[in-house]
Structure 1
Amino acid sequence: MSADRSLERLANATLLVPFEAEHAPRWTLDGLADGIAGVCLFHNNISGPEQVTELNRRLSEAADDPLIALDEEGGDVTRIGQAAGSDYPGNAALGAVDDPELTRSVHRTLGARLRALGFTLDLAPSVDVNTVADNPVIGTRSFGADAELVARNAAAAVTGLQEGGVAACAKHFPGHGATHQDSHHELPVVDADTDLLHRRELLPFRAAIQAGVRSVLTAHIQLPRLGQHGPATLTPSLVNGLLRTELGFDGMIITDALDMRGVSGDIGIPEAAVRALSAGCDLLCLGRYVYADQVAAIRAAIVEAVREGRLPAERLEDAAARTAAARAWTRSRGTVPGDEEIGLAAARRAVRVEGELGRLSDPVVIEVDAPAGMAVGEVPWGLAPWFSGTERIDASAVRADEILSRATGRDLVVVVRDAHRYPRTRALLTELCAARPDTVVVEMGLPVWRPQCRAHVSTYGAARVNCLSAAELLGSATVASIR
């Protein structure tokens, strides 16, 4: 094999690529056969269990056990639950319960389900400590705001996923929980010095590493108080220095998606790929819409960087060896059966009620819409499957008196999602509760803010099982027949 072909195959071994549809295109299959490390599936690749199982079978046959990955956190971030919502509560709900054995059991069942569908790598769990209430990208994806709580549940989640048969991935290193910005759109800042970083952000990563996590995913954030003014993903002192050397992580380091503006907005994806490898990353998650021609351009940029001496060939060889080791680990894994009832049981344990709920009679159910984040996507949520006539409204386009008129003589239930982040939602809810103090409010995000109302129900997430657990509390007559 020529030197150029050897370099191209080494470059391929660092790529985790997306593709366009529910079937694998020829460029993807050929690329896997030519050494591409693996693929990452998104909503556009999955329509149902049978389809994705067959797709993953075809992908696995294209090469020697490629990595077949997805972002399946349970809760609000779900790929296999896109059609109806997840069967597993997310981290916020599990953190509210704070029972590591429950967290482990939920993730073991999730891992076993993913393995049965043909996946080998789950880009989860999020082990960020969510200390900023209005964090636009983490929120319910975190176990909570307490570092020790997050750490013990992070270790449990990692253990459970890997018992289920898939490699886990602790993210977003060195911690995305203290940001006010979304790295999909810009480069967020974490205002933490070295001492705070070790006491807060890094504690869950240490726990995940001690639990044997097979991979860690880097964040596109900057930490200026550490003297760092670019994305962590591209910073050798954080990736190779802090994670690899100081924390002693010897597994595969994966970038967050390189199509995010927080890392490639000013330099382009090919250059971001070169710099990420140089910083110490091993597997380049390219994003959702980076297809054949762009993948070829990224490969060419990596090869050219080696030729120019900007990227040592030894660094590329090391990265390729680590992705190969991850593939070998997934090849050897068995699976521990899960408990298919555990998701709903966990969601029920997470629900909290403040006030007197009582029995509702023919309630009017109003859902106040909230925009889905980039990581979440369009996934159904709310109480509509269990309460006929449920209406989804825009808080800026409806008057309180219209809702009050509709609810005359009937109980009123208002469902919100992260109300603390949306002033118009809070204003509408405040007006409704002032006129109807007997209103029941169901919060399906983080319960940071609550109005004065008869009862406030917190589900800590909007997964299908979270919504079902709320419907049970509210006494829906249809719950038993459709769950």
Structure 2
Amino acid sequence: MNNAKKVEQLISTLTIEEKVGQLFVLAFAGHDTDYALDLIKNYHVGGFYITDDNAASLTDAKILSKTLQAQASLRPCDAPLLLAVDQEGAWGILTKETDIGPGNLALGKANDLELTESMYQVFAQQMQAIGYNTLLSPCVDVNANPNNPIIGQRSFGEAPALVAKHSIAAIKGVTKTGNLACAKHFPGHGDTAIDSHRSLAQVDKPLEQLLQEDLVPFQQSIDSGVSLIMTAHINYPQIDSEFPATLSKTILTDLLKGQMKFNGLIITDSMNMWAMRKNFHPVQAAIMAIKAGAHLIMLSEEHYENEATPYKQIQQDTINGVILAVKSGELSEECLNETLKHVLCFKYRDLETQWLTEQLDKATCAKIAEHAAEKAIKVLRNSNNLFPLEQRPFYLTFAANPTLYDSLVNSRGIGPNDPHPASEVFTQSLRSQNANFTAISYHEFSDILNAKKQLDKDIPVVLITEDYPLPGEDFYSEEQLNRVKAAHNLFDDKLVVLALRSDYELAHFPDLNTYICTYSSRAASAKALAKSLIYPPN
């Protein structure tokens, strides 16, 4: 008997409650494993969105995944759970024990497809080893809008063809390990100026333009066999004048499944993001998404409401609401069965635990991340030949407001969560790599401006800029921009700007003489930048 027939027979034995639960991928707070096990046993959920909040070490993560899968194996429907993580480079989990490298934008700038493939093999291998079987990556959005507050470093770049090539390489690296890859955010989040964690954004492009731009990486990801695609909570009024992509049958069924021939799993972005929650009731949004063609409903990211909102009740009410919709006929059982059949056939076929290729050793993984960070560094302006500084003394300061660093590691473990900001890693790396660190004078930004008369006018001033793609929050601001301008006005051709971020800020500084960019705010890039400041890059 083939897989589909077996699944059909299984579905015929399941209750509506058991069927509906399988379509949900949920988050849970902290180490509340008892609640997670209850969701498996009594709500029949199909998977979890995992963060550092749930397991802060590789050892704990391995125990957690085994515990959850063991409970799932006891159900009438014993399909493995999707254990999904945002391991994508610019975002990542378990950063103290894994090698996440510099992120997609840096990989795109390095433009070495073998390196991108290897970096994603590292991500997937390290997650597969602890039982996390689904990477919610790569982010295949095209950076069409440099002011996009949430994509930025998470994208491979601005050119659709380049993004597509690196997306294929990333997917190839993931699938080598038996892990699942997920291309996101369909049909493209790169041309927005609004973070969908905050509100409902809009991309006002005709389909013909999207097919030539934003959809190019998605189509090539589909053609290369990507397992999942994540939806975008964004309006595309020229395709669907009424509903955002997550809730649009025109976009998910007609376009993605029909025209683009995607036959994998469609998973929604978190339905707790404000783009959804501020505009649609949770139950109705879940029902609409299933009707539109989504296979999996994800509810994660309670981090900005964890203390104020009864998230458990919201999760349970949403599942129960979909169950009632099926029983009342609002959502047909035929639609439910077809959706579940697709999910279960996929799970029983593709959720493997064995390795599909030879594993990279620990030292090789670390070397790949280091090499990616080093290769991405670009000297964009150096008209005064100040870079590298080698053994010359210099003054060092930072443009970011230090109070913003408190947002880098939030309570849900989503987004940039290195334990220390890139600027701190940079300073520590200078100390460890440069025996002559005493020749480097560190100043608070306000102090260095006020002390200009006391500074040696022949010694360069090194200014660090930073940005982090924080969900629902901003790091780079007008204040940081103004600090760079103020420093440039005071120190002119002696100012060296080192960017632990994208180079999109450079448009504001047409007369700046020295600018070096890492395209990343990750620790690996901070270390590589410190090394390159003292020693010329290869």
- Write the deviation string for residues 17-63 of structure 1: whole angstroms up to 9, x where unpaired: 11111x35222113224531111112312322222222222222221
Does the CA contact (< 8 Å) of 1:84 and 1:464 recur in 2? no
Specify whether residues 232 and 390 from structure 1 end up closer, same or farther in structure 2 by C-alpha distance, changes over 3 A only.
Answer: farther
Other-structure match for 1:79: 93
Other-structure match for 1:31: 39
- Write the deviation string for residues 192-236 of structure 1: whole angstroms up to 9, x where unpaired: 111101001111011111111110000000011224233210011
Give the C-alpha shift of residue 184 in structure 1: 0.6
Does the CA contact (< 8 Å) of 2:394 and 2:460 recur in 1? yes
1:213 and 2:213 are equivalent in the alignment: no
Query: Identity of aligned pairs, percent?
Result: 25
SS at match of 2:504: coil
Mapping 1:44-63, distance limit 5 Å: 44-63=53-72
Other-structure match for 1:473: 532
Give the C-alpha shift of residue 454 in structure 1: 4.8
Give the C-alpha shift of residue 361 in structure 1: 3.4
1:429 and 2:484 are equivalent in the alignment: yes
Q: Which segment drifts farther, 442-451 or 270-279?
A: 442-451
The alignment of Structure 1 onto Structure 2 pairs a total of residues equal to: 470
SS at match of 2:15: helix
TM-score, normalization by structure 2: 0.81
Match of 1:366 among 377, 391, 397: 397
Mapping 1:446-457, distance limit 5 Å: 446-450=502-506, 451=509, 452-457=511-516
Mapping 1:186-335, distance limit 5 Å: 186-289=199-302, 291-328=311-348, 329-331=350-352, 333-335=354-356
Other-structure match for 1:17: 26
Does the CA contact (< 8 Å) of 1:418 and 1:447 recur in 2? no
Match of 1:401 among 449, 454, 477: 449
Give structure 1 stretches of 5+ with no counterpart: 477-483
Q: Which segment drifts farther, 109-118 or 259-268?
A: 259-268
The CA RMSD over aligned residues, in Å, is 2.8
Specify whether residues 85 and 54 from structure 1 end up closer, same or farther in structure 2 by C-alpha distance, changes over 3 A only.
Answer: closer
Q: Which has the larger radius of gyration?
A: 2
Other-structure match for 2:131: 118
Specify whether residues 298 and 5 from structure 1 end up closer, same or farther in structure 2 by C-alpha distance, changes over 3 A only.
Answer: farther
Specify whether residues 67 and 404 from structure 1 end up closer, same or farther in structure 2 by C-alpha distance, changes over 3 A only.
Answer: farther
2: CA distance, partners of 1:211 / 1:250? 12
Give the C-alpha shift of residue 187 in structure 1: 0.5
1: CA distance, partners of 2:442 / 2:344? 50
Specify whether residues 325 and 80 from structure 1 end up closer, same or farther in structure 2 by C-alpha distance, changes over 3 A only.
Answer: farther
Other-structure match for 2:496: 440
Other-structure match for 1:481: none
Specify whether residues 399 and 264 from structure 1 end up closer, same or farther in structure 2 by C-alpha distance, changes over 3 A only.
Answer: same
- Write the deviation string for residues 110-168 of structure 1: whole angstroms up to 9, x where unpaired: 11111112110010010001100100110111111110111111111111111123100
Does the CA contact (< 8 Å) of 1:112 and 1:335 recur in 2? no
TM-score, normalization by structure 1: 0.90
Does the CA contact (< 8 Å) of 2:92 and 2:417 recur in 1? no
Give the C-alpha shift of residue 305 in structure 1: 1.1
Match of 1:414 among 449, 463, 480: 463
Mapping 1:164-175, distance limit 5 Å: 164-175=177-188
Give structure 2 stretches of 5+ with no counterpart: 1-9, 74-79, 303-309, 432-439, 469-474
2: CA distance, partners of 1:269 / 1:85? 35
Q: Which segment drifts farther, 291-300 or 210-219?
A: 291-300
- Write the deviation string for residues 399-441 of structure 1: whole angstroms up to 9, x where unpaired: 7623646865754221112599633322221221232222221
SS at match of 2:505: coil
Give the C-alpha shift of residue 335 in structure 1: 4.0
Specify whether residues 144 and 463 from structure 1 end up closer, same or farther in structure 2 by C-alpha distance, changes over 3 A only.
Answer: same
Other-structure match for 2:422: 381
2: CA distance, partners of 1:348 / 1:108? 19
Specify whether residues 36 and 406 from structure 1 end up closer, same or farther in structure 2 by C-alpha distance, changes over 3 A only.
Answer: farther
SS at match of 2:199: coil
SS at match of 2:252: helix
Q: Which amino acid in the other structure matches residue 428 of structure 2?
A: P
Other-structure match for 1:109: 122
Does the CA contact (< 8 Å) of 1:87 and 1:343 recur in 2? yes
Does the CA contact (< 8 Å) of 1:173 and 1:216 recur in 2? yes
1: CA distance, partners of 2:162 / 2:295? 29
Q: Which amino acid in the other structure matches residue 415 of structure 2?
A: V
Q: Which amino acid in the other structure matches residue 464 of structure 2?
A: V
Other-structure match for 2:50: 41
Does the CA contact (< 8 Å) of 2:228 and 2:265 recur in 1? yes
Specify whether residues 84 and 109 from structure 1 end up closer, same or farther in structure 2 by C-alpha distance, changes over 3 A only.
Answer: closer
SS at match of 1:164: coil
1: CA distance, partners of 2:451 / 2:179? 47
2: CA distance, partners of 1:161 / 1:378? 22
- Write the deviation string for residues 327-356 of structure 1: whole angstroms up to 9, x where unpaired: 321225424323311111111111001312
Q: Which amino acid in the other structure matches residue 385 of structure 1?
A: Q
